[in-house]
Amino acid sequence: MTTLTRRRALHLAVAGAVAGPAVLRITRAHAAEFTLKAANNAPVSHPLTIYMTKAADAIREETGGKVEVKLFPNNQLGGDTDMLSQLRSGALELFTLSPLILATLVPAASISGVGFAWSSYDKLWPAMDGDLGAHVRAQIDKSGLYAFDRIWENGFRQTTSSSRPILKPEDFKGFKIRVPPSPMWTSMFKAFDAAPMTINFAEVYSALQTKIAEGQENPLTLIDTAKLYEVQKHLSKTNHMWDGFWLLSNGKIWRGLPQDVKTVVAKHFNAQAVEQRAETLKRNISTEQDLRGRGLAFHDVDTKAFQAKLQSAGFYKEWKGKFGDDAWALLEKHTGSIA
Ligand code: X2X
């Protein structure tokens, strides 16, 4: 394929989108033929950003600069809700998003986030890389988006607070907790009798600082890299949910790219996702000491009591009904009986 037709293919594919930044053309000896904007909600020091950058570097190198992935981390393009709109309209080519937030568009996607479903990564990764992930990706496809094969890691979520520590399920009663925009998160914290409020991650630090929300829940690496310890006092190891990030593209744009470009882009993003899982897991464990040192008080809790509360509040019945018996059976094939 000639440069000209490749350029034309991209222009067709990203019709309506802004062309690659002019600076590239001026400063690079060989201008990129394909410029793909990639965005996320994670700080620059978070492994999601670090390993997406590694993928972008590997893609640039293997294509001799013809394919440029330009990264916009840390909500530079807006919060998750905005970025999802940009992805759908074609203004953004690549975007990582929690399966549970994606569920606002693709309801089936939140199945990996069912509370207390996963007892180990030995069960989780084969499920997400295998038939459970394939089930979700097929639904994503139907929505007009494309999901790359390998999901990225966020981690098991823990609960933080600036007011009282959450030690038992009853402590959640009336607790003003920020949750991401997603039906399953709201449903889970209503089941705990908390007062969940939906806020995009881009606004979480200020919502905690101004005490609009008393608490939030996230894996340790995000609490650390987003400096949430500056505005929180307690961390309870509720371990209530696993969460990841699907790397998504706009389906039309993705299909419009030449096969050789797609192959290189997918190869490096999928490979770096697997590396990023290992690094994030390591940091989700090792960061505890750092966070303690920064003044966050850690509390171990009886997670079984929290799960029992979800059960008695009808959370599992509700979500099994929403996902349907077949999808639920697919989940439990990997997790074992959940509730
Ligand atoms: O919004 C959050 O809390 C985050 C960063 O964990 C997600 O992307 C769901």
Whether 110 is in the pocket of ligand 1, judged by its Cβ within 6 Å, is no
> In the CATH scheme, what is the homologous superfamily, with its name and number, of domain 156-242+284-335?
Bacterial extracellular solute-binding protein, family 7 (3.40.190.170)
- The yes-or-no answer to whether 2-107+119-153+244-282 and 156-242+284-335 have a common fold is yes
For residue 3, the model assigns a pLDDT of 38
Mean pLDDT of successive 10-residue segments in the chain (339 residues)? 41 42 45 96 98 98 98 98 98 98 98 98 98 98 98 98 98 98 98 98 98 98 98 98 98 97 98 98 95 98 98 98 98 96
Question: Per DSSP, which regions of the chain are E strands?
Answer: 34-39, 67-72, 94-97, 145-147, 152-156, 158-161, 176-179, 195-198, 215-218, 234-237, 242-250, 297-300
Whether 225 is in the pocket of ligand 1, judged by its Cβ within 6 Å, is no
The candidate with the shortest Cα–Cα distance to 216, out of 242, 234, 192, is 234
Pocket test for ligand 1, best of 98, 151, 152, 178 (most atoms within 8 A of CB): 98
pTM for this prediction:
0.92
Whether 201 is in the pocket of ligand 1, judged by its Cβ within 6 Å, is yes
For residue 75, the model assigns a pLDDT of 98
Residue 154 CA, closest ligand 1 atom number = 6
| Dist. CA 242 → ligand 1 center (Å) | 11
For residue 31, the model assigns a pLDDT of 81
Phi and psi, residue 133, nearest 5°:
-60, -40
Domain ranges of the chain: 2-107+119-153+244-282, 156-242+284-335
- Residue whose CA is at the smallest distance from ligand 1 atom 6: 218
Q: Which helix (H) or strand (E) holds 37?
A: strand 34-39
- Residue whose CA is at the smallest distance from ligand 1 atom 4: 201
For residue 30, the model assigns a pLDDT of 66
> In the CATH scheme, what is the homologous superfamily, with its name and number, of domain 2-107+119-153+244-282?
Bacterial extracellular solute-binding protein, family 7 (3.40.190.170)
- DSSP codes, 227-252: TGGGG--EEEE----EEEEEEEEEHH
Cα end-to-end distance, the chain, whole Å: 55
Whether 154 is in the pocket of ligand 1, judged by its Cβ within 6 Å, is yes
| Dist. CA 31 → ligand 1 center (Å) | 35
- Residue whose CA is at the smallest distance from ligand 1 atom 8: 98
What is the C-alpha separation between 35 and 140, in angstroms, rounded? Answer: 24
Q: What does DSSP say about strands 242-250 and 152-156: parallel, antiparallel, or unpaired?
A: antiparallel
Triad 140, 51, 231: Cα angle to 5°: 90
Residues listed for the chain: 339
- Residue whose CA is at the smallest distance from ligand 1 atom 7: 98
The neighbouring-strand residues paired with 242 are 156
Cβ contacts of 302 within 8 Å, gap of 6 or more? 168
Q: What does DSSP say about strands 297-300 and 242-250: parallel, antiparallel, or unpaired?
A: unpaired
